[in-house]
Homo-oligomer: A and B are copies of this chain.
Amino acid sequence: MHPVTLLGEAQLRALVPLDLAAVDQVEAAFASLATEAVVMPPILNLALPERNGEVDVKTAYLPRFEQFAIKISPGFFNNPALGLPSLNGLMLVLSAKTGLTEAVLLDNGYLTAVRTAAAGAVAARWLAREDARHAAIVGAGEQARLQLDALMLVRKIERVHVWARDVEQALTFADAAARRHGIEVWVADSVHDAFRHADVAITTTPSRAPLVDASDLHAGLHVTAMGSDAEYKNEIAPSVFEVARYVCDRLQQTRLLGELAHAIAAGAAEPKARFDELGEVVAGQRPGRRHADEITLCDLTGTGAQDTAIAALALVRARASGMGTVFHNAVTL
């Protein structure tokens, strides 16, 4: 009999809160990308336009972990009309020694939300000014909320300006964020307005046309662009590449589906240009913020390495606490 641990969303929310430990775990995954023989194949994408849905499958093997995750991320955009979230999914945790399934994490996308927010904190930790106090958030959804939560873990943010296409949603976000963190949160009239006083800005939208251009930037600003995880998504205008230092999570991936892809298409970046990866910065191979006035842009498209790291954390904690349902599966030789 081979034991398979089953964990549900509520259990995973309890086991893996968005905290500094989660940020550190994801930071270590970025370091692995730069320093270890990580195996991270291209994303498998199943597109179902007739169902208004799609599924991405990501995976990565990091030598430092005894398990690797395979993550299934569906997005079905008719779901809200059915009273269901558009994004859901699960992670499988397989033994890196035997390939046997050790755990099924029925997180409905929660762990992805956490590891994505944690990556934003890693970017801010290494690229935003140490003394950053003012933040701008573009978008007012779940990831906007989590990005602010994550940012608060690594920078002493005192004031936030939020901009979202839906003003009502921005107002709701501002109200909740102000209460949650005991800080000032204002709704801005425009992205430009939100960015005006910001030390650090985070874009979190599924926009298909740029929201940020070079004229929105000023000396010392760090921008993290979270939105692009597909070819057709684009938050950052090519002009930004002319004034900001570009850093990304995985260059081979952002060339294809990150903000960089659009800059390359527009001729604002060379297709083969070598840019720094966040993991190289974390590992000390490349510098973080170089001076107070540097303008930096971190393009985060999401990596299987983050999934493997956060899944490993969940499994270690589940085992330590005895949480989860164990299914004893027969294995026929």
A90 interface contact, C-beta 8 A: yes
For the complex formed by this chain, how many copies does it contain in all? 2
Q: Are A46 and B74 interface neighbours, CB within 8 A? A: no
Contact partners of A108 in chain B: CB under 8 A = 2, 329, 331-332
Q: Are B110 and A98 interface neighbours, CB within 8 A? A: no
Binary interface encoding of chain A residues 29-46 relative to chain B, with 1 for a CB under 8 A from any of its CBs, else 0 = 000000001010111111
Contact partners of A37 in chain B: CB under 8 A = 50
Q: Are A331 and B88 interface neighbours, CB within 8 A? A: yes
- Give the complex CA separation of A108 and B4 in angstroms: 12
B-binding segment of A79-87, A125-133, A174-182: A79-87
Contact partners of A63 in chain B: CB under 8 A = 50
Contact partners of A330 in chain B: CB under 8 A = 8-10
Other-chain contact of A48, B39, B82, B88, B331 (Cβ < 8 Å):
B39
Known: A41-B45, A50-B63. A332 touches B98 (CB 8 A): no
Cβ distance A294 to chain B, nearest Cβ, rounded Å: 37
Q: Are B76 and A98 interface neighbours, CB within 8 A? A: yes
Binding site for B on A (CB under 8 A): 2, 4, 6, 8-10, 13, 37, 39, 41-48, 50-51, 53, 55, 57, 59, 61, 63, 68, 70, 72, 74-76, 78-79, 82-85, 88-90, 92, 94, 96-101, 104, 106, 108, 110, 325, 327-333
**Beyond A57-B59, A90-B101: 13 further Cβ-contacts under 8 Å?**
A2-B108, A53-B96, A55-B70, A72-B101, A82-B98, A83-B333, A84-B98, A84-B331, A88-B98, A88-B100, A88-B331, A92-B92, A110-B332
